Chains A and B, each alone.
Chain A
């Protein structure tokens, strides 16, 4: 991954808030550098004026050598489609969301617009906004929104679905799989994430009642409320599962960036010692373990995803209980964490904000997490839990993790 200085990230931040976030990092740096002396005068043209002005003020402080707590925000590139592509090993979808080609600042919405216009042969001009509004909702199961935007049974609607499938075929297949996890008339759907988080989503049905108040001269009003009541079919599992994974990614980032040095250093040492013992054939198998360690080992056994949530519970006595694969996976994560000091992250679901000096490490950790998920079989785990029966979901490729590790624009 190409690294930039804190100062350059401030320039990137300014360009982002101005509205140039679809440009390459170098182009953004160049634009802000070219306009360095007149940045204040451009505020009225900025796409996000309050944040643009804030970023410019932070830059001026930095130029004067004054310390700042300014937060530079980096957004996941089309987060929903990005995650769905990672889970399915879809290289096309990953390419459209910044995870493959390091020389391109990808944008799935722009690609979709282009494919749609190509399919339609230039007769109609579809805007990026139309494609974005339709794509965002349709990948969570909405058929109404694309219809509202492009009309019913129109060439535009057909072109949209063709484009959506072309741009992110894995996400499209996953959508159908997730829609198929709906349990008719179940009162809730639940699943666990690799760090143990319990996603418990009740099925709520909107009800409307006409209420007449005898004591108020028989005045009436309509009251809306929700009842926990199963339905034959439903769309919400698609968005809920994907959002549960974006929340999981966020937790990974928080744990890996803002970590306790003593805990992680200690964990690193005892994991390394245990792996050496196993190499030498002198390791002792673990028998009795603390319940929390056992619990987190179960999460790993089920999901196949190693998570540093387990670190505070590791003791040298209990190491024998863990599998070598689990230890190796943890060692990889932990050793990378220790290459950089801990730092604070402020998050808004798929936006990650840190001090300008720490953006390189944030971007690298995000790439690492997505690459590990692409290498894992998390989707099989999630679908198995939702269906209540163990199954395997076939991936579209087996080398996406490797490609992600060379990417530049996972966060942009």
Chain B
């Protein structure tokens, strides 16, 4: 039986792990502590927009005219704040194009890359490369509060829900209490046709638990070779985060629900990163049904 406590805890989890919420904390922090940088950014972008360019570039940039430049600058800074460690310039450009609601096509990426280059002069972030042959990388220089850094570190994927997911009634929903999303995986695949929500609802309602005895006895091991320092570091972070989530769920009653989405063909995927019954063998082994039953037919010794 669900209690109010579980619903409140679920809301707290979403506020701690959901990027939409974390974005709002970062945005508030930037607006409160970096007004001069924002102003500098706005004037740099305005200069960029007012420049004289060859025809195709002028036409491309013209698409930005009319946008709220202050909002654009803040959106870029919010996106950059997530680059706690160096990230590829290419992927940051692509992510920011999404944040600015531009397309994922080459022109939009080029414009976003130019905006990044222009805004780099604010010193809010650095664009650099290790050596002549390396790829360009972006790293934030924003001095966020420790709490926000912790939120960002945890923002990779929402943990499973600890109260029963909300009933899905349309293709733009999630089951989570505070955000909606397309239930169809893959960019550009969303539609309002029939995706058999009845089955997603059945699967969302399956209560699971972590086998804590197993977690105490068996240690999670990497499923790939730890043959570079980067891989070792990544694995360490992932493992630490995973055990953090196991502990969190165990403390919150050790009963949880996976939410599910479909791909364009109808295959169903549980949405989980640190905990996922569709994940690695270890991840599969840790999750079991919350409703426990005696196994029938055990010989009496």
Mark A residues whose CB is within 8 Å of B: 4-8, 10, 48-51, 53-54, 57-58, 62-63, 65-71, 73, 192-193, 195-202, 204, 207, 209, 211-216, 219, 221-223, 225-228, 240, 243-244, 246-248, 250-251, 254-255, 258, 309, 312, 344-349, 353, 355-357
Contact = CB atoms under 8 A, between A and B. Distances in A.
A182 to B, nearest CB: 16
Interface string B266-277: 111000000001
B32 interface: no
A347 B127 contact: no
Nearest to B279: A348
A211 B278 contact: no
Contacts of B64: none
B238 interface: no
A251 B297 contact: no
A309 B198 CA distance: 8
A5 B297 contact: yes
Interface residues of B, number: 66
B104 A67 contact: no
Contacts of B105: 225, 227
Contact of A223 (B90, B208, B267): B90
B72 interface: no
29 contacts: A7-B298, A50-B285, A57-B214, A65-B294, A66-B294, A67-B294, A69-B209, A69-B211, A69-B293, A70-B211, A70-B288, A195-B196, A197-B194, A197-B195, A207-B106, A213-B113, A213-B117, A223-B90, A243-B265, A244-B265, A247-B266, A250-B267, A251-B266, A309-B196, A309-B198, A353-B277, A355-B289, A355-B293, A357-B293
A356 B262 CA distance: 27
A254 B297 contact: no
B291 interface: yes
B114 interface: yes
Contact of B109 (A66, A211, A214): A211
A212 B86 CA distance: 21
B296 interface: yes
Given A65-B298, A347-B203, A201 B265 contact: yes
A24 to B, nearest CB: 19
B297 A216 contact: no
B188 interface: yes
The residue among A8, A49, A54, A57 with the most chain B CB atoms within 10 A of its own CB is: A54
Given A57-B214, A254-B202, A247 B265 contact: yes
B110 A213 contact: yes
A379 B191 CA distance: 25
A312 B136 CA distance: 56
Contacts of A355: 289, 293
A298 B252 CA distance: 46
B202 A347 contact: no
Contact of A215 (B118, B136, B187, B282): B118
Nearest to A241: B265
